Amino acid sequence: MSEYLAPLKEMRFAMQELAGLDQVVSLPGCEEATPDVVDAILEEAARFAGEVLSPLNRVGDRDGAKWKDTVVTTSAGFKEAYRQFVDNGWNGLGCDPEFGGQGLPKLLSTAVSEMWKASNHAFSLCPMLTQGAIEALMIAGTDEQKAAYLPNLVSGEWTGTMNLTEPSAGSDLAAVRSRAEPVGDGTYRVFGQKIFITYGEHDMADNIVHLVLARTPNAPEGVKGISLFVVPKFLLKADGTPGERNDVYCVSIEHKLGIHGSPTAVLAFGDHGGAIGTLVGEENRGLEYMFIMMNAARFNVGLEGLGDAERAYQRAVVYARERVQGTEVGVRGGPKVPIIKHPDVRRMLLSMRARIEAMRALAYVTAAAQDNAHGNPDDVAREKARAFADLLIPVVKGWSTESAIDIASLGVQVHGGMGYIEETGAAQHLRDARITAIYEGTTAIQANDLIGRKIAREKGATVMAVIADMRSAASQLDGDLAAIGARQNAAVDALEKAVSWIVANFSTDPKAAHAGAVPFLHLFGIVAGGWQMGRAAVIARGKIAAGETDPFWVAKLATTRFYADHFLTQAAGLAESVVAGAAGALELADDSF
C-alpha cells in the first residue's frame, strides 16, 4: 500500500505565486520565515508526514481508539508519534513566541497542517483542537490562565478540547444546559454532559485542557446566557504541574463511520461533586469566545477536506498506473493497457486533481489574508484582509469538504470493485472525509453564515469587491487562454447574479434565501477556485514563454482548462438554483414527505 508523498512543488507554487509568500514574510513578526527556513520546514514536515504519520493512518483506521473504565488508549504508535511531534516543535509552529511558539506565518503553518491531515486525518485532530484552545485563551483568557496553560498547550505537552455539544443541544447552542456554580475565589463547579468531544480523553499527553460552555445560576436564557470555562483533566498544583484528578471523566467513546484513530468522547462533568473550572473572560460571553476556537477549527476542517482529497487522489493515481485492464480506445487488437489510458479514468483523475489544486489555492490565499488581517501595519489593508478572510472561511470549510467527499468517492470508483475492498485503502478516505462536512458546523450552517452575516448584513460590499478582483484576473485570460477566460467571465456573471438576488431578497424572503444557501456556497467555491486557477494559468503561460521547460507548467494549463470546462460550466445552473429554486423546496407540505 502506497504512503503519502507531500506535493511540495504544488504547495510551494500556491504559497509563492498565488498567496504571495514574499509579501507575507515581510509583515512585522514574520521576519524569521526566510526562504531557507520555509524550505527546511516544508521538507522536514513532508518527511515526518510520509514516514511517521502516514504508516499509522491504516493502523488507526483498523484498530481504532479503545475505551475501558473511563480510560482511552489510542492506536498502536499514536502515542509515540505524538511524542515525536511535540519534541520536534511542530505544535508551536504558528504560536506566539511569548508562550514558547515559533511565531511563523499562518500561510506556512497552513501548508504544514495540510500534510498532517493528508497523511493521518485522525491524528491531526488532536493538535488542531489544541490550536483552537490556544487561540481562545490568547484572546479571552486572564493573565493567570495564560500563564498556567498556554506554555504547555503551545508546546503540545498538554492538549486542548472544545466542549459545546450536549445530548439535547447539537448545533442549537441556545439549548445548552450544563451549569457552573460559583464557589468563591473565582472558581466554579461545572456539571453536565458533553458529547462528540474530539480527543476528550486519550493517553498521549499529561493533561487535557477542556474549554466548556455552561450556564451560571442567574444567566439569561438562550445564547446570551452561555459562559466559557477552563476545566482541566488534572487540577494544577502550586508549581503548575498536573496534580489531583478533576471531576471530568470519559464515560464512552463513539463508534464512527471513519476517523477511527481519533477518540470521540462522551464526557461527564461533576458526577462526583463538581468539576473545578475558572471563567474565561466575562460571564455570558462564552459563545462569542468559543467562536474564536470554532472559526479557527472551521478553516482547519477545510484543510482536512483538502488533505483527504489529496490522499485519495494519490492512491487512485498509483492504482490507475498499475492496474492493467482492457485495450486502449481506438486501438484495434492492441495490447492490454493500464487503466490510466482509458478516457473516463483520466476524466475522473483530472476531476480530482483540478479541484484539489483549486481548493489548495483558495485555502492558501485565505491563510495569507489571515496573516495580513493580524499583522499588516496599514489599517486599510488590514481591515480589507480581515473582511476577505471572514468571507472565505465558510467557503473553504464548506466547499472543500463537500468536494472532498466527491473526490474520495471518485477515488473508490477509479479502483473499481477493489475500491470497495478495505485492503486497498481507498474506502478509508471516503469514510474519513464524510465527517468533515458535518462537524464544526454543517455545510448548511456555513452557507447560512455566508449569505447572512458575510453578505446580506453588509449589502454585499466585500463579496462585490472580490468579484471585481475576479473580473480583473479574468481579463488577463486572453490569447491562447481565451477559452478559459470566457468560462471564467460567464461564471463570475452567474455569481454576481446570485449575490445580487441574495442582497435584494434576504430580508424580505429569508426562507427562499436560505433554501438556496448551499447551492450558493457551491457556486462561490467553484467560481473562487476558478479565479485562482485562472491566475495560475497566466503565471504558467508566462513561465513557458520565458523558456522554462518544466512539465509542471504545461500540466497547470491542462488542469486549469479542465476545471474551466467541467466545473465553471456548472456556475450558471447553480445560480438558477439560488434565485429560483426555493419554490420547489418550500412548497411540499411537511406531511407529504
Give the active site residues.
440
Q: Where are the alpha helices (DSSP H) in 7-65?
A: 8-13, 21-25, 35-48, 54-63
Q: Where are the alpha helices (DSSP H) in 279-418?
A: 286-322, 343-375, 379-415
Nearest-angstrom CA–CA distance, 6 and 488: 29
Strand partners, 338: 324
Annotate 133-190 with DSSP letters as a single string.
HHHHHHHH--HHHHHHHHHHHHHTSEEEEEE--BTTBSS-GGG---EEEEEETTEEEE
The length of the chain, given as a count of residues: 593
Nearest-angstrom CA–CA distance, 220 and 545: 65
Which phi and psi (to 5°) does residue 91 adopt? -65, -30
Are 520 and 502 a contacting pair, CB within 8 Å? yes
Distances in Å between the alpha carbon of 447 and those of 165, 226, 442? Answer: 20, 24, 9
Nearest-angstrom CA–CA distance, 341 and 324: 10
Question: What nine digits make up the cell of 380?
Answer: 486599510
Contacts of 584 (CB under 8 A, 6+ apart): none
